[in-house]
Structure 1
Amino acid sequence: MSKATKRKHVVKEVLEDCVTPTEDQHIMRVLGSNGNNLHEAVTGSGERFLVSMPTKFRKNIWIKRGDFVIVDPIKEGGKVKGEISFILYRDHIQYLRKLGVWPEGFQEDRTSSERNEGTPKERSERKTEEEGDSDSEDDDSDLFVNTNRATVLYSESEEETDEDEDDEGDDNEEEEDEGRA
Structure 2
Amino acid sequence: MSPAYSHKEKMSSTTKKKHVERELCEDFSLPGEHQSIVRVVRPRGNNLHQVVTADGEEFLASMPLKFRKHVWIKRGDFVVTEPIPEGNKVRAEIVRILMKDQIHYIMQNNKWPSGFVEHSDEEKESAILDSLERFKMTKASESDTESDDDLLMENTNRQMVYVEESDSGDSDDDENLNDDIK
TM-score by length of 1: 0.65
Measure, in 1, the Cα distance between the counterparts of 2:65 and 2:72.
12
Secondary structure at 1:119 match in 2: helix
Q: CA deviation at 1:174?
A: 1.4
Q: 1:20-99 alignment to 2 at 5 Å? A: 20-99=30-109
Aligned to 1:174: 170
Q: CA deviation at 1:108?
A: 3.1
Q: CA deviation at 1:40?
A: 0.9
Correspondence for 2:23 among 13, 20, 23? 13
How many pairs align? 138
Q: CA deviation at 1:177?
A: 6.1
Question: Which ranges of structure 1 fall in alignment gaps of 5 or more residues?
Answer: 126-156
TM-score by length of 2: 0.64
Q: Quick one: which amino acid aligns to residue 17 of structure 1?
A: D
Secondary structure at 1:64 match in 2: coil
Where in structure 1 do 4 or more consecutive aligned residues deviate above 4 Å? 120-123, 176-179
Q: CA deviation at 1:67?
A: 0.8
Measure, in 2, the Cα distance between the counterparts of 1:65 and 1:71.
16
Q: Quick one: which amino acid aligns to residue 38 of structure 1?
A: L
Measure, in 1, the Cα distance between the counterparts of 2:173 and 2:112.
79
The change in CA–CA distance for 1:76 and 1:173 in structure 2 (over 3 A counts) is same
Q: 1:98-117 alignment to 2 at 5 Å? A: 98-108=108-118
Alpha-carbon displacement from aligned partner over 1:155-180 (angstroms, at most 9, x marks no partner): xx6158xx88x73x65x61136658x
Q: Quick one: which amino acid aligns to residue 23 of structure 1?
A: E
Question: Which ranges of structure 2 fall in alignment gaps of 5 or more residues?
Answer: 1-10, 130-146, 151-161
Correspondence for 1:119 among 120, 124, 146? 124
Is 2:148 aligned against 1:158? yes
Q: 1:141-152 alignment to 2 at 5 Å? A: none
